[in-house]
Chain A
Amino acid sequence: MLKVFIALIVALALPPLVVDQSWLLAYLAQTATLIVLALSYNLLLGETGLLSFGHAVYSGLGAFAAAHAFARFGVPLPLLPMIGGCAAMLVAVVFGAISTQRAGTSFAMITLGLSELVAACVWLVPGWFGGEGGVTIDRASGPSFFAMTFGPPREAYALIACWCVISAVAMFAFSRTPMCRLANAVRDNPARAAAIGFAPARVRLHVLIVSAFFAGIAGVLALINVELVSSESVGLARSTSALVATVIGGAGTFAGPIVGAVLLTFFSVGLASVSTAWPMYLGLLFMWVVVAAPEGVAGLVRRDARSLCIGMLSAIAWGVAVVVPVEALYAGRTDARAWFIALPCALLGLWLARRTRTAR
């Protein structure tokens, strides 16, 4: 696990030292934010088995509270994530009391309803949430901290990266506590957990509160990065990105959400600049992970070399089979050549996939 943290620190610290480009800093800051959000989401999905569609409620409302605290009371910027995290915890105490009574399907639907409720309310009350424009902050306006004003992107990025690493370490420590083991017990067998004296609903609520705290930190990190929190920050799309990153990376391992967050940011920033069809590819990758690799991309490395190789070849063949016709359709061409390339590739992919299944 030490390797994961060293890799994380190197990946966050090295690129800005080598290349001084503002887009790179923005990209890395976005990745760091999503890493915290996905890790906090995995406390629910991976550790407790709760599928939530309203995780952005906690990160978004935490960010709104932090933005107001920063503007009104002049809280120092480095401490702002704590404010956001605590505000998100308070929100979780209220919403969690309703949602954590049930697990599984009911929990998913209740969180979906709460998420829509909050998103609609944010539009309704422009006095608190800034309406269409959102709430903006000027991150350089706060008191300076060891001669750092956090105005330049470099200083703000350093702050975000530090908080990302601190949160990741804290969440790893949390995943080793007895409380998290109880969450695992509730995930695997709620009746038995109840029988030995731990009410499942109470355990779920506690984990939700911890998870919301880190989600609030993630929300504030996004606020520091773009200096804006708007209705998008609490919307379903943001919750969805936390879910997609966690599942693609793999909910079963601690490093999974980190891998997923890196992949998702690459898709939504890197691939989006090349192709408008990127959500399609993301959706297909998501479905492929759910069907064929439930342990996620991070879990693939655990497989043996042979099935990994065949699996990679199969994935590449499928990728070509999907990308060629999709790009042809988006370009408005409907010639047969795209299908002549795509169909053999799909068949090859299918054949290779069958081989991995028999090999296992």
Chain B
Amino acid sequence: MLQWFCVSLLNGVSVGLLLFMLSAGLTLIFSMLGVLNFAHASFYMLGAYVGQALAAYGGFWFALICAPLIVGVAGALFERLLLRRVHARGALADMLLTFGAAIVIGEGVKLVWGFGPLPAAVPRVLDGPLFMLYGASFARYRVFMMTVAVVMLGALWLVLRTSKTGLIVRAALTHPATVETLGHDVPRVFTMVFAAGTALAALAGVIGAPLAVIEPAMADAMGPIVFVVVVIGGLGSLGGALVASLLIGCVQTFAVGASATAGGIAASLGVTLPPAWSALTVAQLAPVLPYLLLVAMLAARPRGLFGERTRDA
């Protein structure tokens, strides 16, 4: 029991930290630009594909550095050439444009790399177990993933809180006109933030790819979960995104290993479910749980865990 708990907890935290790498970029873009980037998971997928192509050319470490840079540049071009043109028309046009970009990136990936899944290789240094925990091994790669996520979080926090660039970015968020008067190019700050957000997504793509296969459906599988994380954490809150990522990661990992049934849980709460539902196990319910959590959160606290004032009525 203790073994199962510890292994599930570690796996949950590693999945949660990977989710956080994605949702951090999304939250960053949303809180700075007020744009909900529907193409975020697509940039994640693009990062995985570009990383795979670069890894075949120059190895894993080369891909780890270059793929986020390339995708970041693509994100900057997208913001500069397209998003900026529709941004003045409001949030609806932004969402529609990024949604269209998600379709085009998904199809472009199929066009260039084909429909089939691609394997992602783990470098030899990171292959194999790192330590044993109550008789169960824990993979080195997962530890590497968690380290990168934590380092990234620390770097992000440091840049935003202590550097001059971070100061300008934070000021541009609340007082764009004043910052512009002081001689800073606010639209360029926005482009850089968008590029940084997409680069983080691509980094998550390169790192997360070896946990599964690289396939055109990975954006559709990841996208809704990331949105759930961002809503539960509170739109625009980086700390909320971290807590919600860890929560969702742990909920999913624990649910897969649990053996309770929905009928049993309902009975202990004094509710009877229809027969079609009561036989379901919690493991079967695992893909639904993040969305149930989302609905429960919205019913109880519409602004999310750490959400600030509402932007719209």
Alpha-carbon distance A151/B214, docked complex (angstroms): 46
Are A287 and B95 in touch, CB under 8 angstroms? no
Residues of B within 8 Å of A102, CB to CB, are 302, 310, 312
Residues of B within 8 Å of A51, CB to CB, are 92, 95-96
Sorting the interface of chain B by its residue count into under 10, 10 to 19, 20 to 34 or 35 or more gives 35 or more
Are B86 and A291 in touch, CB under 8 angstroms? yes
Are B96 and A290 in touch, CB under 8 angstroms? yes
Given A102-B302, A294-B89, A294-B93, residue A284 in contact with residue B313 (CB < 8 A): no
B288 within 8 A of A: yes
Are A330 and B313 in touch, CB under 8 angstroms? no
The residue of chain A having its C-beta at the shortest distance from the C-beta of B284 within the complex is A124
Sorting the interface of chain A by its residue count into under 10, 10 to 19, 20 to 34 or 35 or more gives 35 or more
Contact of A98 among B91, B100, B276, B299 (CB under 8 A): B299
B85 within 8 A of A: yes
CB contact list, B263-313 vs A, under 8 A: 275-277, 280, 284-285, 287-288, 291-292, 294-295, 298-299, 302, 310-313
Are B227 and A112 in touch, CB under 8 angstroms? yes
Are B288 and A121 in touch, CB under 8 angstroms? yes
A177 within 8 A of B: no
Given A102-B302, A117-B288, residue A287 in contact with residue B294 (CB < 8 A): no
- For B85-109 the 0/1 string (1 means CB < 8 A from A) is 1100101110111011101101110
Are B302 and A101 in touch, CB under 8 angstroms? yes
Contact of B235 among A106, A117, A126, A128 (CB under 8 A): A106
Most interface-central of B86, B92, B285 (chain A CB within 10 A): B92
A78 within 8 A of B: no
Alpha-carbon distance A284/B230, docked complex (angstroms): 28
A194 within 8 A of B: yes
Alpha-carbon distance A112/B310, docked complex (angstroms): 19
Residues of A within 8 Å of B158, CB to CB, are none
The residue of chain B having its C-beta at the shortest distance from the C-beta of A123 within the complex is B287
Contact of A290 among B100, B288, B310 (CB under 8 A): B100
Residues of A within 8 Å of B97, CB to CB, are 287, 290-291
Are A287 and B101 in touch, CB under 8 angstroms? yes
Alpha-carbon distance A79/B1, docked complex (angstroms): 57
A82 within 8 A of B: no
Separation in Å of the B227 CB from the closest CB of chain A? 5
Are A283 and B313 in touch, CB under 8 angstroms? no
Are B291 and A190 in touch, CB under 8 angstroms? no
B55 within 8 A of A: no
The residue of chain A having its C-beta at the shortest distance from the C-beta of B104 within the complex is A283
Main secondary structure of the interface of B (DSSP, over half): helix
Are A127 and B275 in touch, CB under 8 angstroms? yes
Given A49-B92, A117-B292, residue A105 in contact with residue B100 (CB < 8 A): no
A280 within 8 A of B: yes
A347 within 8 A of B: no
Are B85 and A284 in touch, CB under 8 angstroms? no
Residues of A within 8 Å of B275, CB to CB, are 127
CB contact list, A76-124 vs B, under 8 A: 98, 101-106, 108-110, 112-114, 116-117, 120-121, 124
Are A280 and B107 in touch, CB under 8 angstroms? yes
The residue of chain B having its C-beta at the shortest distance from the C-beta of A200 within the complex is B313
Alpha-carbon distance A189/B103, docked complex (angstroms): 31
Alpha-carbon distance A185/B276, docked complex (angstroms): 44
Residues of B within 8 Å of A98, CB to CB, are 295, 298-299
Are B312 and A103 in touch, CB under 8 angstroms? yes
Residues of A within 8 Å of B280, CB to CB, are 124-125
- For B184-211 the 0/1 string (1 means CB < 8 A from A) is 0000000000000000000000000000
Alpha-carbon distance A283/B38, docked complex (angstroms): 14
Are A103 and B231 in touch, CB under 8 angstroms? no
Are B93 and A290 in touch, CB under 8 angstroms? yes
A279 within 8 A of B: yes
Given A51-B95, A124-B284, residue A106 in contact with residue B111 (CB < 8 A): no
B interface list, Cβ under 8 A from A: 30, 36, 82, 85-86, 89, 91-93, 95-97, 99-101, 103-104, 106-108, 111-112, 220, 224, 227-228, 230-231, 235, 275-277, 280, 284-285, 287-288, 291-292, 294-295, 298-299, 302, 310-313
Of the A-B pairs whose beta carbons lie under 8 Å apart in the complex, a sample of 16, sorted by A's number, is A98-B299, A102-B310, A104-B91, A105-B235, A106-B302, A109-B230, A112-B224, A113-B231, A113-B291, A120-B287, A128-B276, A280-B111, A286-B103, A287-B100, A294-B86, A330-B111
Closest 6 CB pairs of A and B: A127-B276, A283-B103, A117-B291, A190-B313, A287-B100, A280-B107
